[in-house]
Amino acid sequence: MNLCYIEKSFKYLNLLKMFVKSTVNIKAIKCIEDLKSEDLLIISNEYANYEQLVKDSPNILIWENIYRQFYNYSINRYMSNYDFYHLKYSLKKAIKPDIESIVVGSSYALFGVEESILNSPCVNLALASQDIYYATLIGQYVINKNKNIKKVFIGTGYYYFYSDLSLTQGSEIMRIADIYYPIFGDRHNCKDLPKSQNTILNEDEIFNIEKIVDIFCNELFEEVKGKYFTDARDRFKLRMVFRGTWDQKWFELDDILQEESAYERVKSHNKAIMYLDSYKENINILNSFVSFCNKRKVKVYMMAFPSTRFYKKYLLKDYKESYMSALNSIDGDIQFIDFNDLDIFDDKDFVDMDHLDKSGAIKISEFINNLNL
C-alpha cells in the first residue's frame, strides 16, 4: 500500500514523513486520477472540492483532521502522565552543555526551588515522592551525560532517609510504573511492579503513534519553557488539602484547621520511622552517590526544606537527629543547608502545611544565590 499525496498541492510533506511509519511508502502523484484503488490519498482541506472527493472515495484522508486527532490525543497522554513527560523532557534539557546545576529530590524541592532565578543555569528534576534512590539515579544519569554539571542539590525533609518508593503501594508504587521504569528500566526493590496503563499507546498501521505523541508532547513542554507549574497546574491546585475548602489558601485557615491539617499530614510521615532497613540502605546509596560526584568534582548539597509551625510540632523529633547522623556518616564531601534554621518564612510562603508557595520558593532560591556556592 502507498500513501499518496498530490504534488505541488500538499504543503505538509516533511511533517507527514515524520508521522508515518517507515514501512509505509509515501508516493507523489500528479493528480487525483493517478490514485490506484489499493492506495490511500492524503490531502489538505485547502484542496479544491476536497469535501466532494471524500464523499466519492473511501480511501482519502484529510491532513488537518489527522493532525487535530493526534494533537488532541497527545494532550490527553501528556496530562494523564504529566510527571513522566515532564521528567523525560527535563532530562533532555539537563544534559545540554549550558546546564551547570540540577535539583533532585522530593516534592519539597519541586515546590521549593525556582530554578529560573538561580545564579547558575539549572534544571529542577525533583518530583513528588522521589526518594534517594531515584534522585541519585537521575543525578548519575545527568552527570554522565553532561560533563559541565558542577552542583547537585538534593531536596529533602527530615524523614527522607526512611523513604523507599519501591516498597510502597497504590498510587505511590505506580509512580515507578508510570515514570521511572519507562525512563530508566529500574524498579529498585519492587518485586512485582504493576503494569502501567498510562504508557500504553494506540496502534495504527500507517502512523507512528509513539513518535507523533513525542513530537507534540515535546512541543507542549517547550511552550511552557519546561516549567512544572503552569496556569493550569499551579502550586495552589496541587497542594495537600485535609481541612477547609479548596478555594482557601493556607494562611487563610484558622489555627484549628491548620493544626488539624498538619497533624493528619504528619501522621503518615511519622510511620516511616520504623523502616530501619530503608534508612541504612539510603545512607549507603547517598554515600555511593557522593563518592561518584566527588570523583567528578561535582559538589553535592543536601537541603532540608522548611515546614509550618504545626507540622514541626507533630513531626517526630527523632527524625532530625537520625537525619544528621546519616549525613555525618557520609565519607565524602557533602554540604548541608537547613532551611528550618532560617527565620525568613511565614504562612504566606506556604501552599500547605509542608510545601512552599512561589514566594517561599523565591526566598529559597535567593538564599542559595547569596551563599555564592
pLDDT at 1: 78
pLDDT of amino acid 69: 96
What residue ranges of the chain have pLDDT lower than 50?
Answer: none
Distance between CA 143 and CA 95 in Å, rounded?
8
Q: For residue 366, what pLDDT is reported?
A: 98
**Three-state SS at 363:** helix
Bridge partners of 42? Answer: 61
Nearest to 243 by CA among 232, 228, 230, 258: 258
Contact 159, 319 (CB under 8 A): yes
- Is 81-195+225-370 a domain of CATH 3.40.30.110? no
Under a CB-based contact definition with an 8 Å cutoff, are residues 182 and 176 in contact? no
Please report the pLDDT score of residue 51 as a whole number.
82
Residue 302 near residue 337 (C-beta atoms within 8 A): yes
Q: Which positions ≥6 away from 242 have C-beta within 8 Å?
A: 260, 261, 264, 265, 353
Please give the grid coordinates belonging to residue 204. Answer: 495504527
The per-residue pLDDT for 346 is 97
CA distance 272 to 267: 9
Cα distance between residue 78 and residue 80, in whole Å? 6
3-state class of 8 per DSSP? coil
Distance CA 113, CA 119 (A): 12
Q: Distance from CA of residue 80 to its chain's centroid?
A: 12
DSSP, residue by residue, 211-269: HHHHHHHHHHHHHTTT-S--SSS-TTTTS--SSS-TT--GGGS-HHHHHHHHHHHHHHH
What pLDDT score does 52 carry? 80
Which among 327, 330, 331 is positioned nearest to 319, based on CA atoms? 327
What confidence score (pLDDT) does residue 202 get? Answer: 85
DSSP type of residue 35: -
The closest of 164, 147, 162 to 293, measured between CA atoms, is 147
Domain range summary for the chain, segments of one domain joined by +? 2-77, 81-195+225-370
Q: What is the DSSP letter of 176?
A: I
